[in-house]
Structures are given as C-alpha cells and as structure tokens.
Chain A
Amino acid sequence: MQQYNQTGPVLMSASVRSPILELKGLTKQFGSFNAVAGIDLVIGEGEFFTIVGPSGSGKTTLLRMLAGMEVPSSGDILLKGERINDLPANKRPTCMVFQSLALFPHRTVGQNIEFSLKIRGEPEGRRRERCFHLMRQLRLPESYYDKAIAQCSGGERQRVALARALAYDPQILFFDEPLSAIDYKLRKALEKELKDIHRETGKTFMYITHSLEEAMVMSDRIGVMRDGRLVQVGTPNEIYTEPSDKFVSEFMGEVNVIDVRRGDAGRVVSDSLGETFTSPPLPPGFETGHLVVRPEFMRFLASGDSAENRLTGRLYNEYALGSRIQYQVRVGENVFILELLRQRAFRANLDDEVTIGWDSPNSILVRN
C-alpha cells in the first residue's frame, strides 16, 4: 500500500547551499495593480528553482525584474549580497531564455551563440572554440554553425537559445517558459535534457512555468505563485505531499477535493455527500476546509476489503492514460477519479455499482 511521506532522491537541501539570490519584499505595481506583491525568497547557489503559477500570477513580471528588464516598485534584489535593483540587464551577470526564445532571425546559429562573446570583444578564434564546445554539449551538429535560424526545428532552436545564454557564462540562468510551445513528447525529452545541463554546468537555474508537472521533473525546489505572492515554497516532494491549500493541491493535477467542516471526535463532515470521514489530525482552530485525496490513493473495494472511509457510486467512464488507467466514479452529483496501474486494472462494466475508499493517512486536510 502506498503512503504519503515517501522521500524522493534528495540532491542537496537548500540550507546547505550558500545563497546567491535574495529577494526582500520585492514588489511591482502597474498603476494600482500589484503584479508582484512582496516576495521574500532566498535561492541557493547551484539550485534549480522553479516558480509555478497560472497565467497572470505575476511570475513573468518577477522574472523580468530579476533579469533587469523591469524596475521593482519597492523591495530589494540582492545578488551575492549586493543590491542590483538599478543595474540594467546588460550589466547583470544573469541571462534569460525567453518564452519566444528571441533568437536573432538575421543571424546564423553560430552568430547567435557567439553574440555575447562578440559584444565583449573576444577574438574570433576563442569565440568559435567556445561556440563549438557549447554546440557539442547541447548536441547540435557542427554543420549547424552556418545554418539560418529559420531552418532550425523547434527543439534545435531551444538548444541554440540555451547555448546562447550559456555562452554569456551567467551566474544565474532564467527561463521564461521556453518549452510551452513545444509538443508533449519533445517537451518531456527537453525537460530531462535541461536538468542534465543543469547538472553538468552546476549553474543556478531559475525557471518559470505554468505546469507543475514540468516543475516536478526538473526542480530542486518549487515556489507556487498566485496573485503576485508565493503561496508555498518547498521541494517537489513537499509540494506534492503537503500542499498548503486547495489552490496548490489542485494545481498539482487532478485530485479529489471534498468540501468538509469540523465534525465530532476528530472527524470531518461533508454536507454535499452526507457522510462523515476520518481525516488526518485537525489543525487547531480548523472549522471548514477541503479533504484532498489523490486519484492513485483511492481504491476500489471488494466485499471483504476494509478502508477507513468508503463511498458507493456508479462507474461512469474509464480512460487509458498510458501506464495507468483512470476511472470516473459518480456518487450522486459528485465526481471522483481513481487511477490504477494498467496491470492492476479494475474490471467492471460502465454503470455498475462500485465501492471506493481510502485511508486517512492518504488524505490531506487543507484550509480554504
């Protein structure tokens, strides 16, 4: 049986690293609108930190302030202890990979990668050497050196953009959703590749995305952002197992959320289901909130099976998701989803009456 609190591979905890970037009450106002509303954060050297949030959460504005393309309204940005609020982008030892990639369309692959070296006035031989080194590292064939950007595929452009940023030798690399326009399969491959590059270069990466799934794959730590604030910061495992609220838990992907209120004897009551459930220990002062159960922690119960909480409904539909199968069960008006590994598929006909259940350690109680 699965349980929460399993530990993933721990690479290096944030506290061990020396801080490279510190944000203190960082705020950006556009008119009366707070795009970024007071963010405090410390990022360690060599960390892969991802900020996740829906569109409009202020994550791009945050990143643009860090990269020097937007000036903070208040608060401070400290890079290795030095305040860099007013340092323009071209003076900051940081570099950004844009959502649109912003490759120079009038330059070849090689010229794009060498751009910052040329700006710095490095001799051609050295530029070329560094360029070919980066192209090898990013698995771009040498023949691409003279290729036009327009002739490159999506994945190749990603690599060129990354190589161009790495050539600058930045202390921190920022990524503004560079993979969002790429198809699923290639995106998955590039996510892993990016994490490998992070490992090889040992640089600090700060990544923003609206996909928590993407963040989970790559990051050492994740910050979940909403309405200009950081709602929760933690390792992928912490975010996954202990979401701080309903927003974060739902952002994690498909989950079952039951609205509940405090009941008797440490139990909670769902008015819409007319049931009482055993839940994890109620935090002090808890009155109403949500009981969150992940689809993989719910199971179908046969007649003899026991579970702390159980519900009876009808099997509405099933969906094959590659290695897993997802089931939709309807209890009255409420929809529940369950996920099983393919080899453990549940056999039943649509519209059959089924009983589903879960144990309290597999559920999470969050406030509104």
Chain B
Amino acid sequence: MSAGQAERSGFSLSWLWRPGRRHAAPIMLLLLLGFAAPLIAIVGFSFGRERTFALWQTPTFESYRTIVEETFYYSFLWSLGMAVATVVILVLICYPVAYGLAKIFGRWSNLITLLMVLPLFVSENVRLYGWVLFLIKGGVLLGTLKSLFGIDAESVLFTPGIIVFGMVYVYLPFMLFPMTLGLSMVSREVKEAASDLGASRLQVFREVELPLAMPGMIIGCLLTFVLSVGAIAEAKVLGGQSVIPIVHDIEIAFTYAQNWPLGAALSVLLIVLVGALVLLVLRRFDLDRILGRR
C-alpha cells in the first residue's frame, strides 16, 4: 500500500507518506519506557526471591509457588465473577441509552454525551465516596427513610453486591460510548429494508441491528471487563473489604507485606489473563472501520 502510494505521488511528494513511522516515534518511545519496560520489570521481579527489592538475581519460581499453594485463586475468582456481573448489567442498562444517543436524541445527543462524560473527570474515589455518604447509615437515603417514614433499614454498604453496583456506576461510560458508536453504524435504511422485507421488530433487532452493532458492543464489553477485573477502589470504598479483589491482594503484597516478588507475580498472572483476552478480541477488529466511519 505505502509503496504503491509512493509511486503514485511521485518522488517529490514522498515525505507525505514516510512520516507515518516518524510521527509514531514519540508515542512509541513513551510507551516503550513507560509501559513495556515497567511490565518487563514486573516480570523480572516476579522471579525474584521473597521479600527482596533488587531486580538482578537468580530467578526462582518461589512466588508463583506461593500463589498456587495459598488461596489467591479466591481473589481471582471474585474479581472475574464481579467483572462478568458488571459487564452483563452494563449491557442491559446501557443499550436503551446508547440507542437513544445513536437514533433518537438527534441534536440533543451532544449535550447528553457531555453530561455522561463529565463525571468521568471527577476522581472515582470522590464519586464512590458520594455513594458512601448516600447509602451509609444516617446518610441521604437511610436518613430520609427514617425521618420521613420511620423506616430503620440496614445499610447495603460493605456487601459484594454493592461492589458490583459501584463498578457498574464507575464504568458505565466505558460501555455506553463504544456501544453508541456501534449502534450508530447501523443505518436507518438497512433496518427499514429488513422491515420492508417482512421482518418483525424482534427479527430486525436480531438479524440486523444486533449483528451490525456487535463490534462496538464487544469493544465496550472488553473495556468494562478489563477495567472491572483491575478494579480496586469500589471494593475498598464501598465494599469495606468484605471482598478482596485481586488488585487489592497485589497492593497488599507491595505495601504492607513488603513482598514485591509476590505482588509482581500476581500482577504478571493478571496481565497475562487480561492481555490474552484483549489481544484475542482486538485482533479481530479493524479499528479504522470502527473509529473512522461515523
């Protein structure tokens, strides 16, 4: 492709295509130093001896053995389970909104999108803490119930359910926007054509709308799944440590336990898990098509 273009644009225009690589260089350098290198470092650490803080030493599998022998799989399972629950709930609650943004709201879409984006820029701690104040005993919800109706209910805080609630809350935009992008790729005419050919509303949805919106929805699911697996704040702030997600284990290993190799090994497992999933799904997508065609 690039060679063909070069020939077409002739020698004098050759700089127009060559800069591809050159323009990619700064960001690639940044990611090499700030993303690839730390990941390699973490892999290096994971083979270190327990409670050591140096990178260069004879590799051992001690930390991995510890992980297998102890009950860390419990945290992994909790994290994965809560992530799956979060994704499923998000698909259900985001679909109508995404549909509205793509097809119904018209010129209001921009404003509504803006309203949905805004909370993203407030640190998730602040927002989750808002929920604590809302849900806590003597907070907005229970305080109102008590003073107005005399109902003395128990707080839903510090349960696994509320952690999923928090993750649904925090990651909602990450499902909503890719989904909207996907749905806006389904043209009205294609759906009309299906209906014109005799398809019922349900059939139009199943045969045309859903398959065409799929790329956006899969991106949304992937994004929210990965973010949920890596979530920690929800469990800490709302869950009150009723559940220890995997990232919390990692943090404990790095901080209180001062066992960096163990934390690194847990991180490596998490990264391998998430990375494999991301690469598997992303490989099947043509990003130009999803992002470029609006």
Q: Determine whether A and B are in direct contact in the complex, meaning some CB atoms lie less than 8 angstroms apart.
A: yes
* Interface set of A (CB-CB < 8 Å, partner B): 67-69, 88-90, 92, 94-96, 98-100, 102-106, 115-116, 119-120, 164-165, 168
Say whether, besides A104-B208, A106-B211, A106-B212, A69 and B192 are in contact (CB < 8 Å): yes
| Measured CA separation A116–B196 after assembly (Å) | 9
Q: Which of A89, A99, A103 meets B196, CB within 8 Å?
A: A89
When the two chains form their complex, are residues A67 and B196 in contact, meaning their CB atoms are under 8 A apart? yes
Chain B residues near A98: list those with CB within 8 A.
189, 192-193
Digit string of B196-234 for contact with A (CB within 8 Å is 1, else 0)?
A: 111110010001100110000000000000000000000
* Interface set of B (CB-CB < 8 Å, partner A): 187, 189-190, 192-200, 203, 207-208, 211-212
| Smallest beta-carbon distance A119→chain B, Å | 5
Chain A residues near B208: list those with CB within 8 A.
104
When the two chains form their complex, are residues B194 and A104 in contact, meaning their CB atoms are under 8 A apart? yes
A-B CB contact pairs (8 Å), 9 listed: A96-B192, A98-B193, A99-B189, A102-B190, A104-B190, A105-B190, A115-B207, A164-B197, A168-B198
Closest 8 interchain pairs by CB? A102-B193, A116-B197, A102-B189, A90-B195, A89-B196, A102-B190, A89-B195, A106-B211
When the two chains form their complex, are residues A88 and B192 in contact, meaning their CB atoms are under 8 A apart? no
When the two chains form their complex, are residues B198 and A120 in contact, meaning their CB atoms are under 8 A apart? yes
Q: Which of B187, B199, B200, B211 meets A102, CB within 8 Å?
A: B187
Residue from the set A99, A103, A115 with the largest chain B CB neighbour count within 10 Å? A115
How many pairs of residues, A versus B, come closer than 8 Å at their CB atoms? 64
| Smallest beta-carbon distance A121→chain B, Å | 10
Chain B residues near A94: list those with CB within 8 A.
196
Chain B residues near A69: list those with CB within 8 A.
192, 195-196
Chain A residues near B212: list those with CB within 8 A.
104-106
| Smallest beta-carbon distance A122→chain B, Å | 11
Say whether, besides A89-B195, A168-B198, A119 and B203 are in contact (CB < 8 Å): yes
| Smallest beta-carbon distance A103→chain B, Å | 8
Chain B residues near A67: list those with CB within 8 A.
196
Residue of A nearest to B210 (CB): A106
Chain B residues near A102: list those with CB within 8 A.
187, 189-190, 192-193
| Smallest beta-carbon distance B257→chain A, Å | 51
| Smallest beta-carbon distance B93→chain A, Å | 26
When the two chains form their complex, are residues A100 and B189 in contact, meaning their CB atoms are under 8 A apart? yes
Residue of B nearest to A92 (CB): B196
Residue of B nearest to A164 (CB): B197
Say whether, besides A102-B187, A104-B208, A106-B212, A115 and B196 are in contact (CB < 8 Å): no
Chain B residues near A120: list those with CB within 8 A.
198
| Smallest beta-carbon distance A167→chain B, Å | 8
Chain A residues near B189: list those with CB within 8 A.
98-100, 102
| Smallest beta-carbon distance A89→chain B, Å | 5
| Measured CA separation A147–B198 after assembly (Å) | 24
Q: Which of A99, A100, A105, A168 meets B197, CB within 8 Å?
A: A168
Residue from the set B193, B199, B203 with the largest chain A CB neighbour count within 10 Å? B193
Say whether, besides A98-B193, A106-B211, A90 and B198 are in contact (CB < 8 Å): yes
| Measured CA separation A92–B195 after assembly (Å) | 10
| Measured CA separation A95–B194 after assembly (Å) | 10
| Measured CA separation A104–B192 after assembly (Å) | 11
Q: Which of B187, B192, B199, B211 meets A119, CB within 8 Å?
A: B199
| Measured CA separation A119–B207 after assembly (Å) | 9
Chain A residues near B207: list those with CB within 8 A.
104, 115, 119
Chain B residues near A164: list those with CB within 8 A.
197
| Smallest beta-carbon distance B258→chain A, Å | 54
Q: Which of B187, B197, B200, B211 meets A115, CB within 8 Å?
A: B197
| Measured CA separation A96–B187 after assembly (Å) | 16
When the two chains form their complex, are residues A89 and B192 in contact, meaning their CB atoms are under 8 A apart? yes
